[in-house]
Each structure stands twice: as C-alpha cells, then as structure tokens.
Chains A and B, each alone.
Chain A
C-alpha cells in the first residue's frame, strides 16, 4: 500500500513537473532563436508571456472568449508584436558592436511591460476560471489536470511546428544558417533584418502560446515574468543552444526537478536547486547537456 502511494506520488509529481516545464521550454525556444540569430539576451521574454496571459484573461473576462479559442488571435497578435519589437527597438541596436545595448533595451522593455501591466490590471494575482479549470483526466490511478495537459499538447504542437518550419522551408533554413554564421549568410544573399524579424515573430509567438497555457493553469501577477525569463535561461543551458527540442527538453527537466525538490525538500528550495543545477551545468558541460559538440568549419 505504502509502496503504491510513493510510486503514485512520484509519478504525479513527475507529470506535474513535465507539464509545467513545457512552459519554460516554450520560453527557452524563443530565447534560443533570438539569441541564435542576433546574440540578444531577450530578458523581457517572461514579461511578454505574462502580458499574453493578461490578454488571454482580458479576452475571457470582457468578451467571454474561451482561452483555447483565443489561441489563433493571441498567437497571431504576438507574432506581429514580435516583428514590431524587432523593427522598433532592436533593428539599429543589433548592428552595434556593444551587446550591452541590446541587453539594456531588453531590461528596459521588461520594466515597461511589468509596470504597464500593474497599472492596467493592478498588481493583484489573477487567474482564469472556466468550467473545466478544475477537471482532471484519470490515467491509471493518476489524475492529470486537463488544463495542464492542454498546455503540454499546445507546447508539443508548437514545438513541432517551429521545428518543421526551420527544417523544411527555405526561410527556416535561412534562419538556421544565419544563427550559425551571419557573415556567410549575407554572402549568399540572406538579409539579416528579414531573418531577425522572423526569429522575433516566432519567439514572441511562442510567448503567446506559453501565456495562454500559464493563464489557464496558474494564478499570475505582473512581476512573475522575470523569474520566468531566468528559468527559461536555465532550461536553455540544460538543453543547449541551437536545438529546438533540446530547449523544450531542458524546460521539462527543469520543471521536473523543481516539482520534486519542492516536494522532498521544501517549496523555498526549488529555486535554489534549479540555480544550483544551472551552475553545475555551466561549470561542467557549458555547451548543454543534450548537445553533441560540432566542430566549426
């Protein structure tokens, strides 16, 4: 009896970790694309996710649009926003030698979005409550929350979509080529601005998906985003730059780690464990756990 409980508990924690980790993973994919093509550490990623969560919340409370029906609206709006962020804020800065400038713009944007959200929606935590929020699906004696499962499915589908785009389309291949060597990419005629705009559109588009997944599963407040950005960076360090599925897997590993450590040690230790793992990875396998090193030509 006791054995079954422990196993069931472990499995439940594991599943919760995976489901939450996919959100880190989505954010990490966006960070990886943006860093890959432009060497920008886009710290405002988390704040944008929260902003998207608020948009979803707003569509739900004001217009009664179901969160899952708002996926196309928010996804598209987020992509347009991403293209706008690049064209408006980073187009000039990305050409400069000093990469601190782009980092400062990203931090400034983060504060702007956070405080804008605090003014518009107050700093009180919000959450979306629908008829199915508390429903769960029983699988082999375990209860899997419906909204988290949906979040997981959304993350998997969008990751697959991004992967297909990068592998199968000429523009996607151009994005990969540009993240490898921007000078060589320009010599074959790839315009850096076009590739950067696409990387931002996809990165912020994924923020939209992550925002919807977050708003349906957890309460959120305007200042939750920064931690989210940091976690996405840890996920990226685990998965390794340059691999879309690696980033997602990194997020899942991090989510699982957090859910186990917050249960077995204590909630306060979850962050300490994830930053500890971050340091260990940077010390011993800085190219990422899941990356085979490829020699540069």
Chain B
C-alpha cells in the first residue's frame, strides 16, 4: 500500500449551526499531487483551514505521518511540517520581501536553517532576490503568489497545501503557477491543491477528489476524472 502522508477520516466541521463538511475522508500519498476541486462554497477552503488548525473539527480525525494532529494550533501544525499558502496569499503587505521570507522560517524547527532556506528560495525564485528589499504589497499579483509559496517553503514542510493559487492571476501567470507546482512536486514535495480552475488542477494531479456541498462526490486519477462525463457536464462544460 502507498505511504499515506496525510489522512483525513470522516471529518465534520461546522460554523455555528451551519455544517460545512459532512464526513469528508481523503488521503494524500507521499510525493504526489492531490487535487481537491469543486465549486465555490463547496467546502474546499474549510477543509484546508481545518487541517491547518484554523478551524476545530466537530468530529473525525486528521493524521499526519500516522500521528494525530486533530485540534492542534496552527503554529503546532506548521511546526509538524504542514505548510499552507492561504487563499488570497495573505502576505505581510507592509513588510519587505525578505522579511516575509524570514518569517516563513519562524518556527523552531526551521529557524536554525533560515539563511540556507533563504538561499534556496532565491535560487528557486531569482526574481524575489532582486526585489528582496521591496515592500511585499507593492508587487504584482503573480509575484505575490510566488512570494507566498516561497514563504511557506521557508518552513521546510513535508507537505504543501495551496488554496486557490491561480485566483486573480492572468492566464499566462496561471500557467506558470501550475508549472511551478509540478516542479516543486518533481523535487519531492507532496502537494494538496485546492482549485476552482478544475481543468488545470486535474491535468497536473495524480489523484483528485471532487467536493460538493461538504461531501466528496467523486474521486479518481486526474486524467480519469477529466474524461468522466459527469465531471465534464458539471464542471468543464464551458471549458472544452
């Protein structure tokens, strides 16, 4: 059996009396790209936030490398090795690019390696090096998304969760972003990708889940789902 790096079992999450996730189960094998796709409000972001420790699940469990991380604080989750690039990037807009990156390596596990991680980040994103003293908020959307990914890599994670990395970017930049995700994966990073850009997400992912109103309704290999008539009708109708 494949190595399940992240495993979610029967997760229930609610905001007050509104139920957002109804018993979601999925797993992410080590070294793969797993996509979680679905329409607006289906519960994609809720799931990522719950894994990251921002929401407390009502029921169910989250296992990371076989250990329970359910109900940990966000700080503890990052330190355990799960980094999240939140929706809308959430950079520290008034801090410089370099300061944003340094804070990415704030957690105790990554702090001794900040200098080394910084060099690696600059190697991966040479553009960020030339802009290292620029205020993060003054960069373009694509550059900001790059910085957000680089910042989360500073924590030296074993799994990277990306929440809508293509949101608000021009088509060319979106293409670059997906290429980057693939490149990170080739370098050994396990990736959990949440996307509304379903076609692109399914194309690059090894395995994918389709979520609808808080429940997983379909799952399968990326290309398999792409050719699934149900998926094509419901989500890709306008794209092909």
Contacts and interface: CB of A to CB of B under 8 A. Distances in A.
Given A187-B74, A189-B79, A170 B103 contact: yes
Contacts of B78: 187-189
A174 B106 CA distance: 8
B3 to A, nearest CB: 25
Contacts of A8: none
B136 interface: yes
Contact of B137 (A189, A242, A295): A295
B67 interface: no
Interface stretch (B32-40, B92-100, B224-232): B92-100
Interface string B113-153: 01000000000000000000001110000001000000110
B6 interface: no
Nearest to A178: B92
Interface string A158-195: 00000000000010011011001101111111110000
By size class, the interface of chain A is 20 to 34
B75 A186 contact: yes
A294 B93 contact: yes
Contact of B86 (A177, A184, A189): A184
A199 to B, nearest CB: 16
Contacts of A170: 102-103, 106, 111, 114
A91 to B, nearest CB: 14
B84 interface: yes
A7 B52 CA distance: 64
Nearest to B74: A186
A295 B54 CA distance: 25
Interface residues of B, number: 34
B103 A174 contact: yes
Interface string B81-110: 000101011111111000100111011000
Contact of B136 (A185, A189, A297): A297
B205 interface: no
Interface in A55-107: none
- Chain B CB count within 10 A is highest, among A174, A177, A295, for A177
Contact of B92 (A184, A189, A295): A184
B155 interface: yes
A176 B99 CA distance: 10
A177 B95 contact: yes
A146 to B, nearest CB: 39
B95 A176 contact: yes
Interface of A: 170, 173-174, 176-177, 180-181, 183-191, 242, 294-297
17 contacts: A170-B114, A173-B99, A173-B102, A176-B94, A181-B92, A185-B103, A186-B53, A186-B75, A187-B52, A187-B74, A187-B90, A188-B107, A188-B152, A188-B154, A190-B75, A297-B91, A297-B93
